[in-house]
Amino acid sequence: MRTVFGIDISSKTLNVAISVNQNVVNQYKFDNDQIGFDRLLNDLNSVKEPEIVFEATGVYSRSLQRMLQDHGYQYTCLNPLVAKKQLDSLRPRKTDATDAFNLAQTQFQFNRKPSYQQDPVYEQLKDLSRFYQEINTDLVRAKTRLHRVLQLTFPSIERILSAPNGTLYWNLVKKYPLSTMVPVDTTKELAEIVLSSTDKRMSQARALKIAVKLQDLAQTCHPAVNNSSSIVKQVHYWAGEALRIQDLKHELIQEMTKLAQDQPEYEILLSIPGVGEVTAVLFIAEIGDIRRFTSANKVNAFVGIDLRHYESGNYEAADHISKRGNPYARKILYQMVMNIVAATSTKSTKQMHVADYYRNKKQSASSHSTKKIAIASMHRLLRTTYILITKNQKYSYNPTSKRQ
């Protein structure tokens, strides 16, 4: 006898349909809270080996997943796209109650397997990664707004370093938001301020050179506002905000590294030339436990770089990636490819077959094929990482390998 619990989840309520051998014996609705979960647990405990099916609904289904895991229940959490395809033919009238009913009934047809339950550390890493991505967006916004207001107070300070970015730059902008605030007589004292404003090692000569350049830039600048302008306060604020967000990003990476370094794939990823600590932990956070996928092609689909082909009659469209997967994972994977290509650009450095493939294709292809080459390289890298992690092997370069 099979007992299936079909559950439709919304932000505040859950609808449950209980089907025994394709006969629905009970349907009810409860709040998405502990009191509602207690009622569901009573029904689950009264059944031997219940099959639980529900559709992933972002943060709203997380509480149910956690409750089921804490009580040792297996469950099938459906991808929304998969659920839509399976239930579309059964939805002439769509409601939360009918969705729960259809999930329960179709379980007898599709015999869905229980979802792979990852170690909770992967969920923690994913949450931290999403927070990291969000504050990185905030940093971009702060830098843009800082650039805008600097054009009125001290635009030439953006040339003080090779790039208007980093701890030293933001500290100097915060200290001297207006060009007229830069002292013109005390170069040595200004050099000491430069030294105290950086979080990296710097020689006295280098600090003195920056101090002189800062004075020169200040003397050639004519600000659009005076000391009492509110724009000066805005420059000070956005420079401070950039510093604060950068420090928070550093803290998050440290926390993620502490969680990820105990996972076997962490050292495996670091064994790939060009893959550093940050990209390794972000890759683990967004991909999760890659061992839950039964093939590399399924990882491609999860990331969204699986190809879509359309052909009808004499017409054949160009293949393109689906982009239905994880956009953050795609971004990280692209960065990994570019880092690998850059890190293996000289003969004195370690080599990597993905970099070989990328460079060979770039030399023989036209410029408009760059995007396609990058996508193909991402596919090869993802396939390589999948094989290495599932076999628990570190990367070893073999120029005659079939992976090339």
pLDDT tens, position by position, 346-395:
877 788 999 999 998 888 866 557 888 889 999 999 999 999 999 999 99
In sequence order, the β-bridge partners of residue 5 are 18, 52
Residue the block writes with tokens 């940093």: 139
CATH number of the domain at 123-257, please? 1.10.287.4070
- Picking from 17, 15, 13, 14, the residue whose alpha carbon sits closest to that of residue 4 is 17
- pTM as predicted: 0.86
Q: Is the pLDDT of residue 56 over 50?
A: yes
Per-residue pLDDT, 259: 96
Which helix (H) or strand (E) segment holds residue 133: the answer is: helix 120-153
> What mean pLDDT do residues 240-246 have?
97
Taken in order 281, 283, 287, 293, is the CA torsion positive or negative?
negative
pLDDT band at residue 292, thresholds of 50, 70 and 90?
A: very high
pLDDT band at residue 319, thresholds of 50, 70 and 90?
A: low
- Picking from 398, 262, 389, 269, the residue whose alpha carbon sits closest to that of residue 332 is 269
> What mean pLDDT do residues 25-53 have?
94
β-strands 315-316, 311-312 pairing = antiparallel
Is 2:21 a contact under the CB 8 Å cutoff?
yes
Q: Is the pLDDT of residue 261 over 70?
A: yes
Residue the block writes with tokens 């701890």: 167
Residue the block writes with tokens 């002189």: 212
Per-residue pLDDT, 402: 47
Per-residue pLDDT, 404: 42
Is 376:361 a contact under the CB 8 Å cutoff?
yes
Report the chain's C-alpha Rg in angstroms: 28
Every domain of the chain and the residues it spans: 3-117, 123-257, 264-391
Are domains 3-117 and 123-257 of this chain identical in fold?
Answer: no
In sequence order, the β-bridge partners of residue 19 are 4, 24
Instruction: Identify the three-state secondary structure at position 89.
Output: helix
Per-residue pLDDT, 81: 82
Per-residue pLDDT, 308: 66
Cα separation, 174 vs 196, whole angstroms: 13
List all residues 6 or more positions away from 53 whose beta carbon is below 8 Å from its beta carbon.
4, 5, 6, 7, 75, 76, 78, 103, 104, 107, 112
Give the CA count within 13 Å in the CB-facing half-sphere of 298.
9
β-strands 307-308, 311-312 pairing = unpaired
pLDDT over 90 for what percent of the chain? 78
Condensed to tens digits (0 to 9), the pLDDT of residues 109-146 reads: 999 999 999 999 999 999 999 999 999 999 999 999 99
Taken in order 225, 231, 233, 235, is the CA torsion positive or negative?
negative
Cα separation, 194 vs 355, whole angstroms: 39
In sequence order, the β-bridge partners of residue 29 are 15
> What mean pLDDT do residues 148-155 have?
97
- Picking from 343, 341, 342, 334, the residue whose alpha carbon sits closest to that of residue 378 is 334
- Picking from 273, 237, 267, the residue whose alpha carbon sits closest to that of residue 353 is 273
DSSP state of 182: S
For the chain, give the mean pLDDT.
91
The CATH topology of domain 3-117 is Nucleotidyltransferase; domain 5 (3.30.420)
Instruction: Identify the three-state secondary structure at position 357.
Output: helix
